[in-house]
Structure 1
């Protein structure tokens, strides 16, 4: 747990998202969310709330069933992993290109 991480009790999350506590418990049983526990009490992070909000939109606004939500969440996680990988590759390429440019500039100035 990060020191700057905020935690919310289930009652606050229910008010924020306008859902019943049983809905959150159901989403936990389905594996859509894994709240942390402090002394056996569920606590939710900002990231949990964002994920719950996404699940609620899928189910209530778009009518996606639980199996569909599961597939979408897994696809979303894979896309985020791919995005992180691409960012790492781009950083590596950026560093490599920068080094090549610096070498060429240095070589150019050595010639004049």
Structure 2
């Protein structure tokens, strides 16, 4: 039986030992928001295996000379990349499912907003007038490119 890597099972002393750090360093990273463990009743920190791996990554970056603020930004960007990858996989599955059902419409239009969100637009529908969205479409054969 595999253990959930996100299950909060380690107390701070065990997590510190696994990450080869002092418990006070873990508390500091928690205060800075670099690694935020779960809290049990009585405000006791509980770390997951994922948290311990993250602590090791913070330690590695720190040894390489990256400031704590730089590390915080790197971790934030890595989280955004992971979320976007997950969304891309969801969209790819939706497209595959639609093709499998035979419902693929090559004339569907998608708009990508400033926040990275992707929405499907009906044929002939346009994004909000003041939107700075990027619109992607596939024109029909023997028809000029444009929104349909």
TM over 0.5: yes
Shift of 1:93: 0.8
Shift of 1:51: 1.6
Task: State the SS of the aligned residue for 1:98.
Answer: helix
Match 2:47 to one of 26, 37, 44 = 44
Paired residues in the alignment total 98
Instruction: Give 1:10-21 correspondences, 5 Å limit.
Output: 10-21=12-23
Shift of 1:78: 0.7
Shift of 1:6: 4.8
Match 1:59 to one of 46, 57, 62 = 62
Distance, in Å, in 2 between the alignment partners of 1:27 and 1:6 is: 17
Identify which of structures 1 and 2 has the higher relative contact order when contacts are C-alpha pairs closer than 8 Å and 6+ apart: 1
Where does structure 1 lack aligned partners over 5 or more consecutive residues? 102-112
Distance, in Å, in 1 between the alignment partners of 2:51 and 2:60 is: 14
Distance, in Å, in 2 between the alignment partners of 1:31 and 1:5 is: 19
Higher helix share: 1
Q: Which structure 1 residue ranges, 4+ long, deviate > 6 Å from structure 2?
A: none
Cα contact 2:9–2:48 (8 A) shared by 1: yes
Deviations 1:21-73 (A, max 9, x none): 1110110111111112222211111221122122111112x221111101101
